[in-house]
Chain A
């Protein structure tokens, strides 16, 4: 019996040929190679950014406005503040609207209307940012007759809304139905349930989603080119052209001056650090329960 069993498999399953084995090894090697090829530019970018940026950041860079061409020194202080102002305006408009839309999708949108909104926000996620810039230009700049931080904020807010809406929806759907039912069963009205129970339970997830949207628009340049426009000087009026870090990096990078190239690297490093620290700070606050509802 046992000798029979030992013979039959050899007939049915021939040993794997060297050719198939070699193909297998080869393809494994190819897959490893692709990973290396993809990670290489990532490390190259970060290494170069830190290497070039660290040497160029100094107090003057963080506290002064740009110097005219040819003069050494100067900094991007006005651009750093300008970026924060524009992002602040964008968040003020975009975050509540996005969260509201997310609440609609998860609590009131389990129907055809919800599906339509869901599809539209997915589609809007794919609209090129420069096109959003054109829209903000038509909406704000043409009416005001000049470029402004407000216009830049509107452009970025339009980009934030669909992202926040979809992540908020996903986070709210993770809240167990039983918690809503428990609240409703105790006689709490539906809006109080949504605000005080569902939203609070999902707070940390929603904040993470908001930060993702924030990080995505924080480095945006294209929609600011003809909305915020940029400015070489301090500007405290949100109705005037305003400098932004990303715009300044762009202008300096394509300029022919070494001094400006140096500052572009410094600006890029500051931008990355600002984005990462903003995200990290909020996540930390969430973890330590200051903002968490749960």
Chain B
């Protein structure tokens, strides 16, 4: 409807003659006035078909919810809420508790946010506020290129490049300097929570930075000018005039990144070590909800085993839905309903 305010029709609009031809044909048969009556049925059919397509999306979501709830019934009746509080995962004895996976998902995601957020916001600020115009396009294109790489390729790279670097340099260094905190102790395997968090961070940076950029761009120019006119330096202008105004939107972008990190499967599965244990040290191997599904779903023998896995899927689904809905509301509150391109 927003287009109604546009200027009068452009006569060199694409292919006007096509419409004209069609119109002439109809006119020759029935005359333009009767045309409304003649075409009512196909019009209604077409509208109905399109409505059906729209409805199909809602139906798909319903289907997802139905499948997950239906599939997890068995496990729900067997364990109830205890399922999420127990840390015993033992398919041999049919004992299932999802706590280690929930822990792994939460810790790896939070770790990735800690690494990714400052970097992503820094890139967004640089591109919108400091970058020479010529560099701007190239930079935003390259950061978005990171988003186009399939997750399995990130995992491949992580196994053969990131993990050795972690094992040889990063983990010994962290162990020496920060070992006293208890978060960086134990043998350096390379694989483990820290590697998973790092590769996740690399993967969610493009999302956070491209949405933050959109949010920063819509901060009104006069806010910047006002702060600068008061004698602020460029950094003070960014801090007071831009970041403060875009706060809600940036938080939304971060939460969207979190949603992606929570559900990310392949790269994490390949480097986290896949051991259902809760350890304080980030060097230790862990397991996430998504990666236990990836590893065990196709091999799950026994109905209860499968049902427990589907229940993990259901929990993952619910958490990401809530996180995403929240994030979209926050981004929307800043961009005021302008479609955010990076999210599509």
Task: Please list the residues of chain A having a beta carbon within 8 angstroms of any beta carbon in chain B.
Answer: 13, 16, 20-21, 23-24, 26-28, 30-35, 37-39, 41-42, 44-45, 48-49, 52, 97, 99-101, 103-105, 107-110, 113-114, 116-117, 120-135, 137-139, 147, 158, 161-163, 165-167, 170, 173, 175-179, 181-183, 186-197, 200-201, 209, 212, 215-216, 218-222, 225-226, 229, 246, 249-250, 253-254, 261, 264-265, 268, 271-272, 275, 293-294
**Alpha-carbon distance between A114 and B238 when the two chains are bound, in angstroms:** 38
Contact between A178 and B13 (Cβ–Cβ < 8 Å)? yes
Contact between A187 and B23 (Cβ–Cβ < 8 Å)? yes
Interface of A is mostly: helix
Contact of B235 among A27, A130, A188 (CB under 8 A): A27
Contact with A along B255-296 (1 / 0, CB 8 A): 010011011111000100000000000000000001001100
Q: Ordered nearest first, which 4 A-B pairs have the shortest CB separation?
A: A219-B150, A128-B263, A34-B122, A100-B53
Q: Which residue of A lies closest to B148 (CB)?
A: A215
**Alpha-carbon distance between A99 and B50 when the two chains are bound, in angstroms:** 9
Q: How far is the CB of A15 from chain B (nearest CB, A)?
A: 9
Given contacts A23-B233, A191-B46, A222-B294, contact A103 B53 (CB under 8 A): yes
Task: Check B171 for interface membership: any CB of A closer than 8 A.
Answer: no
Contact between B15 and A294 (Cβ–Cβ < 8 Å)? yes
Q: Which residue of B lies closest to A138 (CB)?
A: B67
- Enumerate chain B residues within 8 angstroms of A13, measured Cβ to Cβ: 231
**Alpha-carbon distance between A181 and B236 when the two chains are bound, in angstroms:** 50
Q: Which residue of B lies closest to A252 (CB)?
A: B156
Contact between B15 and A42 (Cβ–Cβ < 8 Å)? no
List which B307-344 residues lie within 8 A (CB) of chain A: 309-310, 313, 316-317, 320-321, 323-325, 328, 339, 343-344
Task: Check B118 for interface membership: any CB of A closer than 8 A.
Answer: yes
**Alpha-carbon distance between A59 and B56 when the two chains are bound, in angstroms:** 44
- Enumerate chain A residues within 8 angstroms of B54, measured Cβ to Cβ: 100-101, 104-105, 108-109, 113-114, 117, 165
Q: How far is the CB of A139 from chain B (nearest CB, A)?
A: 7
Contact between A179 and B13 (Cβ–Cβ < 8 Å)? yes
Q: Which residue of B lies closest to A113 (CB)?
A: B54
Q: Which residue of B lies closest to A99 (CB)?
A: B53
Contact between A253 and B270 (Cβ–Cβ < 8 Å)? yes
Contact with A along B76-101 (1 / 0, CB 8 A): 00000000000000000000000000
Contact between B20 and A120 (Cβ–Cβ < 8 Å)? no
Contact between B16 and A250 (Cβ–Cβ < 8 Å)? no
Task: Check B225 for interface membership: any CB of A closer than 8 A.
Answer: no
Contact of B153 among A183, A219, A261 (CB under 8 A): A219
Given contacts A124-B61, A127-B317, A222-B290, contact A293 B15 (CB under 8 A): yes
Contact between B321 and A127 (Cβ–Cβ < 8 Å)? yes
Contact between A197 and B344 (Cβ–Cβ < 8 Å)? no
